[in-house]
Every structure is written in structure tokens, then in C-alpha cells.
């Protein structure tokens, strides 16, 4: 069963520095539950068949101009129809004037009215992005999230395999830490996941034998980041001599999180392997693949072995 999330109207007001023209109650108690918004032009024309009162209603220059075409009495009646459906909130953009009689209508139906100086388009885009992030489906995974050469790398593996130590080495090499131990992952669109750290453990890392350290305090503010898109998942595991690992990189592996398939790799570790350098190379190689270049395919093409890399069943064959 999918969990529903909500964000308080008070948080939205604080985020966008909105002016509160009218509020029937404490705005921190009013919850917004949908990332969709609405510009009520159709409702001002009298069409309410698909009106969703859970959406924040945005009134801009077009809506105000449309209202001005009516007589004052008719304009007031049209707005009262909208307020009578009790939308979660109404936001006036461009710092437009909103007459006191309209405020009284909003108070009559207990509808919060807010105002911003931003243009309608820019405010709407920013609000949608904010709502999608805060209302996105989410899951928490045990792992480490780092940014390496602009790529968001999620390190997964059993406890004690060396994820935190690798993160410290990467930070010392100029990369950035997003989360250690618990990574809160949100599906912000149909194509992307964004990871962050829970507020209470943000920037802290546990190192066995040393204890808890604060990466921001030790390495500086440039060594940490609040959020990052997850581009690649690296599963770290102890080297198993009985297991065959991919040597060519021709096979495409993915890991499913929140019903999205994210490119992934499995990297075995044993004494002597420099895991931080390997992850740096994996990040750069992943970026090259996104740009359309695959080193393994290029090598096989230069060797004239392109037609020999798959067997009759379509399975990849190690040419070496």
C-alpha cells in the first residue's frame, strides 16, 4: 500500500517568503497532499467538473484580467463559487491587488490567501518542484551516498565491508558526501531518484575504531552536500573466489529502487584494492556511457571481435 505524504502550508510560506493575507487557522496545521497546482481560469468561467480542492490555486495577471471583464457583482460571485469549494490555499502572484471584499469571501469559507512578488510562471515552476520533492514516494536504504565527478554514487553492501572508509577517502580526494549509514531516497520523477540524509545524522560518519566524526567540521563545508541525484549504484561485497565477476563491462546491470531501474555494478573487495580509485573510474566510465561511448565495445570493434562477443543463446562471452 502506497504511503501518502504531506507538507505543511507553513513550510511553503517560509520557503517562498509568502505574504499571508488571510489565514483561518495556524498555517502550520494546514497540510498540502498533492504536488499538482491549478490556475482557476476555467472555474472563473463557471466550469467545476474536474476541480480538485486539494490543489493550491494560483491567481496571476490572466485570471485578474479575466475577472475585470465582469461587473463587480459578477466577479465577486465567481470568486465566491471558487472559495465555496474550499481549496487548500490561494496564492496571488506578481504582488497583484486583491480587494478586501475578496479577502472577506476567503475568510467566510476558511480559505488561506497568500501573496508573492514572483511572476506566475516562475513561482508555479518552483512550487511544483518543491512539492514533488517533499511529497515524493521514499524509502531509506542502509548505504552511503557520495558525489564523484558530478555523478551521484550510492554505495550498498553489508555492514563492515568498508563503505564509510571509502567515503572518507573519496572526500579527501575532493569529492562530496551526501549521506552515510542511512540514505533517504525519493522518487522525484518517473526517471530519477534523489538521495539525502535524515536531518539528525546529516554529515556524520561512523568509523570503526575511531567513532563518530562530522565530515563538514573536519573537511569543510565544500566536502558535503545536502542532496544528489542517484546516477549509479555500486554493490560492494567481499571477494568470492568461487564467483565469476564481469571483466568486460558489456552486461548492463540494474538495481530496482521505488520501481525505477538504476544502473549498477558489483565490485568485489579484498586487501590491496584501492576502492576509492575504482569508484572514481566507475563514475567517469558511467559518464562516458551516458555520452554514448562504451570502452569495451570500442575495444572489441578495434580487435575485430564485435560479432563474437555473444553466443548462440544471446549471452555475453568473455573473449579473453
Catalytic residue among 14, 54, 247, 290: 247
- Evaluate whether 164 touches 145 at the Cβ level (below 8 Å): no
74, 101, 142, 172: the catalytic one is 142
Active site residue 203: no
> Are 206 and 127 in a shared domain?
no
Query: Could you tell me if residue 225 is inside a domain?
Result: yes
Let me know if residue 317 belongs to a domain: no
Domain boundary among 78, 103, 134: 134
Residue 113 placed within a domain = yes
pLDDT tier, 1 (very low <50, low <70, confident <90, very high otherwise): very low
| Single residue among 83, 116, 134 that ends a domain in this structure | 134
Nearest to 35 by CA among 63, 58, 6: 6
Which of 11, 181, 202, 229 does the annotation list as catalytic?
A: 181
Whether 163 is a known active-site residue: answer yes
The answer to whether the beta carbons of residues 178 and 146 sit under 8 Å apart is yes
User: Which has more confidence, 208 or 63?
Assistant: 63
Look at residues 73, 21, 69, 11 and name the one whose alpha carbon lies nearest to residue 45: 69
Residues 51 and 147 both lie in one domain: no
Identify the active-site residue in 55, 115, 138, 163.
163
Structural domain contains residue 315: no
Q: Do residue 23 and residue 128 come from a single domain? A: yes
In the residue annotation, 301 being an active-site residue is answered as no
| Same domain flag for 71 and 182 | no
Q: Which tens digits make up the pLDDT trace of 211-233? A: 999 999 999 999 999 999 999 99
pLDDT digits (tens, 9 = 90+) for 76-118: 999 999 999 999 999 999 999 999 999 999 999 999 999 999 9
Distance separating alpha carbons of residues 183 and 180, to the nearest angstrom: 7
Q: In terms of domains, do 12 and 111 share one?
A: yes
Range of the domain at 202: 138-308
Q: Do 48 and 151 fall into the same domain?
A: no
Nearest to 111 by CA among 69, 134, 80: 80
The number of folded domains in the chain is 2
SS3 107: helix
Q: Where are the alpha helices (DSSP H) in 91-196?
A: 100-108, 120-134, 163-172
Q: Is residue 276 part of a domain?
A: yes
Do 89 and 155 lie in one domain? The reply is: no
**CATH code, domain carrying 271:** 3.40.50.300
pTM for the structure as a whole: 0.78
Q: How many CB atoms lie within 10 A of CB 89?
A: 22
Please classify residue 78 by burial: count the beta carbons closer than 10 Å to its beta carbon, then call 0-12 exposed, 13-18 middle and 19+ buried: middle
Whether residue 319 is predicted with pLDDT greater than 70 in this model: the reply is no
Q: How far is CA 101 from CA 72, 98, 106, 229, 240, in A?
A: 10, 8, 9, 46, 75
Are residues 163 and 126 located together in one domain of the fold? no
Tell me, rounded to whole angstroms, the distance of Cα 304 from its chain centroid: 43
Task: Say yes or no: 122 and 143 in one domain.
Answer: no
248-294 pLDDT, tens digit per residue, is 777 788 999 999 999 999 998 887 788 999 999 999 999 999 999 88
Q: Considering 70, 100, 134, which residue would you say is the last residue of a domain?
A: 134
Rama region for 76: left / alpha / beta (φ>0; ψ in -120 to 50; rest): alpha
Q: Is residue 316 part of a domain?
A: no
One domain for residues 233 and 117: no
What pLDDT was estimated at residue 260?
A: 94
Residue 257 included in any domain: yes
Assigned C-alpha cell, 169: 577517502
Q: What is the CATH number of the domain that holds 107?
A: 3.40.1390.20
181 is catalytic: yes
Alpha-carbon torsion, ordered 145, 174, 218, 268, to 10 deg:
50
Examine the pLDDT at 312 and tell me if it is beyond 50: no
Do 199 and 274 lie in one domain? The reply is: yes
- Check whether residue 124 and residue 171 sit in a common domain: no
Please indicate, yes or no, if residue 314 is contained in any of the structural domains: no
Amino acid at each position: 500500500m502506497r504511503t501518502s505524504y504531506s507538507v505543511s502550508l507553513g513550510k511553503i510560506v517560509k520557503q517562498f517568503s509568502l505574504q499571508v493575507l488571510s489565514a483561518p487557522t495556524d498555517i502550520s496545521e494546514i497540510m498540502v497532499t498533492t504536488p499538482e497546482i491549478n490556475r482557476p481560469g476555467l472555474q472563473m468561467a463557471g466550469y467545476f467538473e474536474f476541480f480538485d480542492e486539494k490543489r493550491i490555486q494560483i491567481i496571476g495577471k490572466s485570471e485578474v484580467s479575466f475577472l475585470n471583464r465582469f461587473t463587480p457583482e459578477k466577479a465577486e460571485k465567481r470568486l465566491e463559487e471558487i472559495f465555496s469549494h474550499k481549496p487548500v490555499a490561494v496564492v496571488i502572484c506578481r504582488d497583484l491587488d486583491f480587494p478586501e471584499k475578496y479577502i472577506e469571501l476567503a475568510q467566510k469559507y476558511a480559505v488561506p490567501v497568500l501573496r508573492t512578488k514572483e511572476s506566475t510562471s516562475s513561482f508555479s515552476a518552483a512550487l511544483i518542484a518543491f512539492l514533488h520533492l517533499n511529497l515524493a514516494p521514499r524509502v531509506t536504504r542502509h548505504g552511503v551516498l557520495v558525489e564523484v565527478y558530478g555523478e551521484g554514487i550510492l554505495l550498498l553492501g553489508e555492514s563492515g565491508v568498508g563503505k564509510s572508509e571509502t567515503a572518507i577517502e573519496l572526500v579527501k580526494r575532493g569529492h562530496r558526501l551526501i549521506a552515510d549509514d542511512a540514505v533517504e531516497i525519493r522518487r522525484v520523477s518517473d526517471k530519477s531518484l534523489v538521495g539525502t540524509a535524515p536531518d539528525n545524522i546529516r554529515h556524520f560518519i561512523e568509523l570503526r575504531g575511531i567513532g563518530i566524526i562530522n565530515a563538514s567540521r573536519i573537511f569543510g563545508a565544500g566536502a558535503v552536500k545536502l542532496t544528489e541525484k542517484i546516477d549509479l549504484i555500486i554493490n560492494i561485497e567481499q571477494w568470492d573466489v568461487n564467483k565469476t565477476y564481469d571483466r568486460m563491462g558489456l552486461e548492463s546491470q540494474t538495481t530496482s529502487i521505488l520501481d525505477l531501474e538504476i544502473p549498477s555494478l558489483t565490485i568485489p573487495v579484498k586487501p590491496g584494492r584501492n576502492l576509492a580509485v575504482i569508484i572514481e573510474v566507475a563514475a567517469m566510465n558511467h559518464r562516458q556511457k551516458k555520452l554514448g561511448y562504451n570502452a569495451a565495445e570500442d575495444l572489441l570493434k578495434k580487435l575485430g571481435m564485435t560479432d563474437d562477443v555473444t553466443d548462440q543463446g544471446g549471452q555475453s562471452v568473455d573473449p579473453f
